[in-house]
Amino acid sequence: MRFPGYVLELGSLTLWAGLVAASLWHNLALLDVQGREVAFARARMLFSILETTRLWNAYHGGVYAPVTEKSPPNEWLVDPQRDVVINGRAYTKINPAYMTRQVSELMGSQGGLSFRLTSLKPIRPGNAPDPWEEQALQNFERGEKEVLDRVEMGGTDSFRYLGRLLVEDACLQCHANQGYHVGEVRGGISVTIDAVQVLAEINPQKQQTIVLHAFGYLLLAGATLAFLTWLRAGWRQLAQAKTEQEAMVAARTAELRRAVDDLARSNAELETFAYAASHDLQEPLRMIGSYAQLVDKRYGPTLDADGREFLGYMTDGAQRMKRMIDDLLTYSRVSRGEPALQPTELDVVLDAALANLTAALTESGGQIIRPARLPVVLGEAPMLVRLLQNLLGNALKYRAADRAPRVTIEVVAQEGRWLVSVADNGIGIPQAAHERVFHIFQRLHSHASVPGTGVGLAIAKKIVERHGGRLWVEDNHPHGAVFRFTLADAGSGDVSMPQQQSR
C-alpha cells in the first residue's frame, strides 16, 4: 500500500491555509470593529462637549461678542436685544446655534473632522438635513438616541454620527414659536469623521496581524511537511518490513505445508503399516495359541509345576497379545476413511453398547442412570456404539473396592451440538494424567491389578474427533471421573431430561 504523501501534503497545506485565512479574516474584522468603535467614541465625545457648551450658552441667554467680519450679526436670530453697543463698540448676541456653527466652521477648516446642526424643522435653511441625516432624525422620532454609519461622502470614506438634541427650558427662548415642548426631539448634531484617518491608526495592527498569520502559516506548513517526511520514511520502513515479513511467512508457510504433507503421508503410511502388521500378526499369534493349547492337552499331565507355569505365561501372553492386536486394528480402522455420518438415535446406540456389556454389568453389580430419551445426533452408529462401550466399560472396570459402580449419562443442548457426559463414582484419574490417558498404550495401572491394553480411550477420542467433536475428562467430585464429548445435532430439537434407572 502506497503512502498518500503528496495528497496528504496538499490536503494539509490547504487545510492550514484555510484555517489561517479564516483566523486572519476574523482578526481583521475585529480590527475594523475596533476602528468603528474609535470613531464612535470620538464622535460621542465631541457631541457631549458641544451639547454641554450649548446648554451653558442657553442657560445664560446667549453671550455677546464683538461684531467682526468672521462674526457678523446672526440674521436668523429674532431678538430685539440681538445687537447692542457698549462703550461705543458694537456687539452681537451669539446664541447656541450660532456658536455651534462658528465652532464647526473653525474646526472644518482644519480637516479630518466636521460637524453641524441639523433638524427636520430648521430655522436656518443651511441646517436642513441631507438624506442620511433625515433618515437618522426620523429614527430619533421612533426612540433611537444616536446613529453611526460608515458611508461614502463625495468619494470619501467617512464615519457619520448623529446624536439627538432634546428641547430644554432654555431652548424655548428661540424655538417656542416653532411649537416645541420640553423633552421633544429638536434636531441633532451631525459629526463626520474621515475614515482614512481613523483606519490609519488601525493599519499598523492590521499589518502586524497579517505578518503574524503569514509567519504562523509558514511555521505550520514547515512543521507539517517535516512530520509527513518523517512519516513517509517510517511508512517505507514499515512497508519494507512488511514485505520481508510476508516473504518470511510465505517461506515458513511453504515449509510448514511440506512438513504437514510429510506428516500426513507418514501418518497414512504408519496407519497402513499398523493395519497390515496387526493383520499379519494374527496368523502366527493364532498358531502360538493353538500349539500352546495342543502342548497343554497332550503333555500337560507330564509337565512339572514350573512347566505348567511357563505354559500358562505363554498362553496368557498370547491372549493379551491378541487383544492388543485386535484393539490396534480397531484404532487403525477408526483412523482410516471418513465416517458415514447420518441421523443416529443415541438411545439405540446406548442399548447396543449395554448389550455388549451385559457380562461386565452383572459381574460388577453396576448401575447405569440414563435420560428418559436421548437425542438424535449426526454420526456412524457402529463407531458410536464402540465409543459408549469403551467409556462405560472403563467406568465399570476402574471401580472402587468399597462401592458398587454407578454411571450417570447426561446430555445438554448447545448451539447445534449436544454435550454428552458419562460420570462414574470409581477410583478417578489424577489431574496430571487427564491428557495422557488418551494416548495409545498409556495405562495408569498394571495389567495384574486391572486388565486392559491402554487403547480404549485412544479409540474413543479418535471416534469423537472423526465426528468433528471433542472428548475430555474432568474430576467428578467427590469420587470418580466424568468424560464429556460433543456430537453434532441431527435436527431433532430439544429433549427433556428426566432421570430413570436402568441396569
Q: Give 434-487 pLDDT, tens digit per residue.
A: 887 887 766 665 554 555 566 788 888 888 988 889 999 998 888 889 999 999
**pLDDT above 50 for 493:** no
User: Do residues 373 and 346 make contact, with C-beta atoms less than 8 angstroms apart?
Assistant: no
DSSP code per residue over 263-323: HHHHHHHHHHHHHHHHHHHHHHHHHHHHHHHHHHHHHGGGS-HHHHHHHHHHHHHHHHHHH
Instruction: Read off the pLDDT of each residue in 276-304 and give the average, rounded to a whole number.
Output: 72
Q: Is residue 426 part of a domain?
A: yes
Please tell me the distance from the alpha carbon of residue 402 to that of residue 392, in angstroms, as a whole number: 19
What pLDDT score does 319 carry? 67
Higher pLDDT, 43 or 340: 43
What pLDDT score does 445 carry? 53
Q: Which domain holds residue 354?
A: 338-502
Q: Is residue 21 part of a domain?
A: no
What pLDDT score does 498 carry? 37
Higher pLDDT, 262 or 329: 262
Count of beta carbons in the 10 Å neighbourhood of residue 212: 14
Q: Is residue 307 part of a domain?
A: no
Instruction: Read off the pLDDT of each residue in 366-383 and give the average, rounded to a whole number.
Output: 90
User: Do residues 206 and 31 make contact, with C-beta atoms less than 8 angstroms apart?
Assistant: yes
Nearest CA-CA partner of 357 in 158, 503, 181: 503
Q: Is residue 464 part of a domain?
A: yes
Mean pLDDT taken over the chain: 82
Strand stretches in 21-138, DSSP E: 63-66, 83-86, 89-94, 113-118
HEC sequence for 155-171: CEEEEEEEEEEECCHHH
Nearest CA-CA partner of 62 in 102, 96, 100, 101: 96
Q: Which residues pair with 268 in a beta bridge?
A: none
Length of the chain measured in residues: 503
Categorize the per-residue pLDDT at 349 as very low, low, confident or very high, splitting at 50, 70 and 90. very high
Q: Is residue 332 part of a domain?
A: no
Nearest CA-CA partner of 325 in 266, 368, 283: 283
**pLDDT above 70 for 492:** no
Q: Is residue 477 part of a domain?
A: yes
Please tell me the distance from the alpha carbon of residue 53 to that of residue 55, in angstroms, as a whole number: 5
Q: Is residue 65 part of a domain?
A: no
Portion of the chain with pLDDT greater than 90, in percent: 20
Phi–psi pair at 440, nearest 5 degrees: -65, 140
Please tell me the distance from the alpha carbon of residue 5 to that of residue 346, in angstroms, as a whole number: 65
**pLDDT above 90 for 408:** yes
- Cis before 498? omega within 30: no
State the DSSP H helix or E strand holding residue 57, giving kind and residue range, or none if neither: helix 5-59
**pLDDT above 70 for 376:** yes
- Give the CATH number for residue 484: 3.30.565.10
Please tell me the distance from the alpha carbon of residue 277 to that of residue 9, in angstroms, as a whole number: 73
Q: What is the Cα 256 distance to its own chain's centre?
A: 37
Q: Which residues pair with 63 in a beta bridge?
A: 94
Range of lowest pLDDT (242-256, 285-299, 414-428):
285-299
Number of structural domains found in the chain:
1
**pLDDT above 50 for 501:** no
Cell representation of residue 500? 430413570
Instruction: Read off the pLDDT of each residue in 241-260 and give the average, rounded to a whole number.
Output: 89
Q: Is residue 78 part of a domain?
A: no
Considering the entire predicted model, what is its pTM?
Answer: 0.43
Per-residue CA distances from 190 to 95, 120, 208 (Å): 18, 13, 34
